[in-house]
Amino acid sequence: MIGNLIASLGSVGAPPTPLTVDYLVVAGGGGAGGSNNSNGVGSGAGGAGGLRCTVTATGGGGSLESQLTLTRATNYTVTIGAGGAGGIGGSGSNNGSNGSNSVFDTITSTAGGGGGSYPGGFNGLNGGSGGGGCEGTNAGGSGTANQGYAGGSGASTASRGGGGGGASAVGANGSVSGNGGDGVATSITGSSVTYAGGGGGGKSAGTTATGGAGGGGNGAVGNGVGSAGTVNTGGGGGGSCSNNPPAVDGGAGGSGIVILRYPDSITISIGAGLTGTESAASGGYKRATITAGTGNVSWS
């Protein structure tokens, strides 16, 4: 009887077992700027969402992030950042909107910057990666240290907008190509996948400015809306161009994603408000891929 009591007291006082979790946290990409000009003006592209990762590589050329040591049966917050809306074209065209931050516990990745517009904000906005500037040598936005790079500036030649910054490279200036900066490849899922590419700038003529690898949208050429950034990559939206009325809007940014890797001996619970799945065990790990919403996760 005394032995049973001691055992019972020991189990009550035992601390919860810790676990180590790797993560990829990508914020929503920025939207591209809107455009309205009868002479043809290319808007700046959206910058990629900030990228933070503990496996293979992280954003902004920084050192790998550190794993988190967490506790079982404890709730941890996850938020998936939405992509930013493209700027509305018109007489007062708007810059593209920044995306939204993505969060896992104490880790926050910064939303991608919106692209510059004509005749609106001109310069790209700061973000996880910066948005591209509108044509006419307008500056790109700055990136965030250890998350992403700056957007490119616009150029008067062929009315080119600058490319959005990506997680591994700056967006190209419109005077060069206006291409979006490439994203970062990580093998957290067990296969190499690239995330957080910047959008390509819009231009009135010439070769399409391509979005960066990792979901960046291509820019429009002539008169049209750039391509949206790819969903769940944090890619920036492609820039627009208006050769003649009507005005055109910028391409939207792609939403972000959170991927968690942990030992295959435990199981995750993905709470209400989140959309996600847990993989089968592979290589000693399971992975949870969370693609939308805000809520809690826990492990048992």
Residue 4 has pLDDT above 70, yes or no: no
* pLDDT band at residue 8 under the 50/70/90 scheme: very low
Instruction: Please indicate, yes or no, if residue 164 is contained in any of the structural domains.
Output: yes
Query: For 76-91, what is the mean pLDDT?
Result: 93
CA–CA separation, 170 vs 163, rounded Å? 8
Task: Look at the block and give the residue holding tokens 């050429």.
Answer: 221
pLDDT of residue 299: 97
Residue 181 has pLDDT above 60, yes or no: yes
Whole-number mean pLDDT of the chain?
A: 92
Identify the CA nearest to 161 among candidates 127, 203, 195.
203
Residue 222 has pLDDT above 90, yes or no: no
Cβ atoms 43, 35 nearer than 8 A: yes
Report how far apart the first and last C-alpha atoms of the chain are (Å, whole number): 31
Q: What is the DSSP string of 181-242?
A: PP-EEE-TTSS-EEE-PPPPPPBSSSSPPPPPTTTPPPPPBSSBPPPPPPTTTTPPPPP-EE
Domain containing residue 44: 25-300
Amino acid identity at 289: T
Q: Both tokens of residue 46?
A: 């959206």
Instruction: Please indicate, yes or no, if residue 183 is contained in any of the structural domains.
Output: yes
pLDDT of residue 163: 98
Residue 124 has pLDDT above 80, yes or no: yes
pLDDT of residue 16: 65
Q: CB within 8 A of 51, min separation 6: which ones?
A: 24, 25, 26, 27, 58, 59, 60, 109, 128, 147, 148, 167, 183, 184, 195, 196, 234
* pLDDT band at residue 168 under the 50/70/90 scheme: very high
Instruction: Please indicate, yes or no, if residue 9 is contained in any of the structural domains.
Output: no
Question: 125 versus 224: which is more confidently predicted?
Answer: 125
Q: Which residues pair with 53 in a beta bridge?
A: 24
pLDDT of residue 15: 64
Query: For 203-220, what is the mean pLDDT?
Result: 96
CA–CA separation, 215 vs 234, rounded Å? 7
pLDDT of residue 3: 43
Cβ atoms 180, 160 nearer than 8 A: no
- Tell me: the pLDDT tens digits for 261-277? 999 999 999 999 999 99
pLDDT of residue 247: 82
Q: HSE (CB half, 13 Å, CA atoms) of 261?
A: 20
Residue 195 has pLDDT above 90, yes or no: yes
Residue 5 has pLDDT above 70, yes or no: no
User: For the chain, how long is the longest CA-to-CA vector?
Assistant: 91
Task: Look at the block and give the residue holding tokens 């020991």.
Answer: 10
Query: For 287-298, what is the mean pLDDT?
Result: 98
Query: For 77-89, what is the mean pLDDT?
Result: 96
**Residue 84: CB atoms within 10 Å:** 37
- Tell me: the pLDDT tens digits for 33-55? 998 866 678 999 999 999 999 99
Query: For 181-186, what is the mean pLDDT?
Result: 98
Instruction: Please indicate, yes or no, if residue 10 is contained in any of the structural domains.
Output: no
Instruction: Please indicate, yes or no, if residue 96 is contained in any of the structural domains.
Output: yes
Which pTM value belongs to this model? Answer: 0.93
pLDDT of residue 14: 55
CA–CA separation, 27 vs 182, rounded Å? 15
pLDDT of residue 1: 40
Q: HSE (CB half, 13 Å, CA atoms) of 172?
A: 22
- Tell me: the pLDDT tens digits for 223-261? 899 999 999 999 999 999 987 667 889 999 999 999 999
Instruction: Please indicate, yes or no, if residue 4 is contained in any of the structural domains.
Output: no
CA–CA separation, 157 vs 135, rounded Å? 8
Instruction: Please indicate, yes or no, if residue 13 is contained in any of the structural domains.
Output: no
Letter string b/e over residues 272-283, b meaning 16 or more CB atoms within 10 A of that residue's CB: eebebebeeeee
CA–CA separation, 23 vs 53, rounded Å? 6
* pLDDT band at residue 10 under the 50/70/90 scheme: very low
Domains: count for the chain: 1
Instruction: Please indicate, yes or no, if residue 298 is contained in any of the structural domains.
Output: yes
Residue 6 has pLDDT above 70, yes or no: no
pLDDT of residue 120: 73
